[in-house]
Structure 1
């Protein structure tokens, strides 16, 4: 059953009825109750309806909003496999008059719905309105003693909806309703967000990489002397698929042609490895001032920036920056390199990606405790300013909290690091090439 609907109108009510007919009492939840045999004109029937409405009114708005857009529904006259209905003739205003002594004068409005079974019977629906922050607690205003003590009502008692029934509230639930009456009970979120680490600025990246790839092609294209020993895999005959003889001119031309066709891809991959090794990692530091934040979802956007995977300096490999025209084969396997793969736990709290011209980092910690600093590590990603001349970048953030519809956001300007020339950065981490 789709619980994202508003349970008003015949189509929605028929969907609910079909669900009740399919599963019967198993349909009962905090937002749906089923009474197969109930006379809403009798004292016992009125008390049962009143008890449901009281429990539905004393719900937390955030929890209620997850189903039926906050509404709760009592279905009268149906059970698994049968919609026997109740006799027609229940007038809404008459039932409201009978309910009012239990509900009190300030009780919120509720709705009625009907689906005909035949000319004499119908299924009746009582539909409670969504609870709201700022609403008071709604206690019962009248006693009722029924044949089954579970149906009893007590003047002054507070009733709440459990997983599938209405029952007296426990102490913690009463305190929660007190907080609801105060307007939600939670103060506004006051979040401090800082960027830890340096946002990189690198000049001449594309120019330097193009030069390196041109040099690789020139070296490979030079006439080869079979008797000359070369350290580069491009010139080692034995390194080419275990061959003991140099490549023929035709084979060399084919190898160079294939390499040229993938050159753009190689440059892009080499750029990521180069910058991932050469730039310092960046993290996010967060503190929630005087406020507990449950299951926060924090999106931090670095405008005009690029995010790349961080690589340890020990992982620096020039062959991953400049793909050789003829790569040396690993004699013991297929060339698997664990450093090429980042395997994250399923519940890893940090994720990063590029969104258009911006870099986006998403943090999903379990909670922020009041005045406790939380900081992500600086070994996940690096941030590069797309404009090497930018002295600062704008960073915006948006925070949402589980069970809270309020969106908190902020903005800060973050200075960038010193401008570095790509050639100097390459030499610092990959040596003379």
Structure 2
């Protein structure tokens, strides 16, 4: 990265915005490169390149986070809306960075013995310098009234005593460093902890994507099953017609080599197929709607309040959820169970299209509960006035009543280390009514 400042250059840093996102972090980095250590304040600390795999470097990061967590809320709120930032890999006139590859969860694991189990969540950011190096940002959350004091949980003796940590010590941010708290500062933190608890949560919850309405699903699937049976009953040489010449291999059991079956074999296969109708239709219905309908998600905004480790349950009343599937995975035989499946020696025994691997610590789960659908969100945090949005490729929301013009959505929120329960509800309009026959044509009768 080229030099952005020089010894005679002055830089002005705006601290009105939240220090998250590449644009905000790049502005902080430019300021650090311009003025170096002079950038350090109660809300900003600068570290030239350090080895984050060493105990000494991890202790430095832990000390900064402890000091940032033990700030007074009204004072912290004057800059970066209460956040505090440590910049790692930058100095005056240059930003050499640190080697790429530092994983946030690995650094968190190294920090946890010093911070303790109840320490607030913190964020990581990074800006690439070149193919090998990047500048890292450790971002502490705003302190809150009613928050406990956060002591150090593990000792560390560094070569420089200023980098040492003591088990049980309380650290605070000074003008440009982190140091042990003085008696008056400890008493102030005690008052913070007695501050009547956290302010109430004001949450805005919205739905991304459609709440789908589909009419005649069972009727269409029933007609297709009737057609499947009709084709199966025909002699193989008579079964092929214009419909079967489409991209779908209808009645694959007929064209897959069933001519050798006796009449008794065919009747036995049909009886078994009919007995499985309930299961077949339910499974086919899920596949049909999963590949044919648009996915949905949830948008959450916490007004003027940081919410740590939220647990938000959103209930869609009179709705159901199905897994959202890639349209390219549309498979007619999964929508309409054939009487006899064709045997393809090249086809893998395991159907990989049904596997839905989730990311590590995926913050979204969903299920159907009785007549309602339930989505549970467990992100690390909701930041003040910053929208949090789930992806729209997890599930599809379908109104149980195709004629419903809207559905009721209710939600309940709890927060880590907070006994208060926040709840709300909203009415959400449904999407345009879709006819299942038209949807079937769109999904399965694509022109080749």
Deviation readout 1:39-89 (Å, 9 max, x if unpaired): xxxxxxxxxxxxxxxxxxxxxxx97xxxxxxxxxxxxxxxxxxxxxxxxxx
The TM-score, its normalising length taken from structure 2, stands at: 0.56
Question: Pairwise mapping of residues 344-383 of structure 1 onto structure 2 (< 5 A)?
Answer: 344-383=358-397
Pairing partner for 1:205 from 176, 192, 217: 217
Question: Pairwise mapping of residues 12-411 of structure 1 onto structure 2 (< 5 A)?
Answer: 170-171=171-172, 174=186, 175-184=188-197, 186-225=198-237, 232=249, 234=251, 239-240=256-257, 246-411=260-425
How far does residue 410 in structure 1 lie from its aligned partner after superposition?
0.9
| Preserved CA contact (<8 Å) 1:233 1:327 | no
Please give the alpha-carbon distance, in whole angstroms, between the structure 2 residues aligned to 1:159 and 1:300.
32
Change (3 A) 1:368 1:256: same
How far does residue 159 in structure 1 lie from its aligned partner after superposition?
13
How far does residue 160 in structure 1 lie from its aligned partner after superposition?
8.5
Unaligned runs of 5+ in 2: 1-116, 119-144, 155-165, 173-180
Deviation readout 1:162-198 (Å, 9 max, x if unpaired): 79x99675547935422222212x2111111110111
How far does residue 237 in structure 1 lie from its aligned partner after superposition?
6.4
Change (3 A) 1:237 1:307: closer
| Preserved CA contact (<8 Å) 2:153 2:168 | yes
SS in 2 for 1:411: strand
How far does residue 364 in structure 1 lie from its aligned partner after superposition?
0.5
Change (3 A) 1:374 1:168: closer
Please give the alpha-carbon distance, in whole angstroms, between the structure 1 residues aligned to 2:326 and 2:199.
42
Please give the alpha-carbon distance, in whole angstroms, between the structure 2 residues aligned to 1:405 and 1:383.
31
| Preserved CA contact (<8 Å) 2:252 2:342 | no
Please give the alpha-carbon distance, in whole angstroms, between the structure 1 residues aligned to 2:420 and 2:239.
74
How far does residue 311 in structure 1 lie from its aligned partner after superposition?
1.1
CA RMSD in angstroms, aligned pairs only: 3.3
Please give the alpha-carbon distance, in whole angstroms, between the structure 1 residues aligned to 2:446 and 2:199.
58
How far does residue 258 in structure 1 lie from its aligned partner after superposition?
1.6
The TM-score, its normalising length taken from structure 1, stands at: 0.58
How far does residue 330 in structure 1 lie from its aligned partner after superposition?
2.2
Change (3 A) 1:286 1:380: same
How far does residue 234 in structure 1 lie from its aligned partner after superposition?
3.5
Question: In the alignment, which residue of structure 2 is the partner of 1:415?
Answer: 429
Change (3 A) 1:236 1:167: closer
Please give the alpha-carbon distance, in whole angstroms, between the structure 1 residues aligned to 2:355 and 2:152.
49
SS in 2 for 1:393: strand
Deviation readout 1:187-227 (Å, 9 max, x if unpaired): 11111111011100111111111111111111111234389
How far does residue 134 in structure 1 lie from its aligned partner after superposition?
7.9
| Structure (1 or 2) with the larger CA radius of gyration | 1
SS in 1 for 2:235: coil
| Preserved CA contact (<8 Å) 1:233 1:328 | no
SS in 2 for 1:225: helix
Deviation readout 1:364-410 (Å, 9 max, x if unpaired): 00111111111001100000101111110010111111111111111
Change (3 A) 1:277 1:237: closer
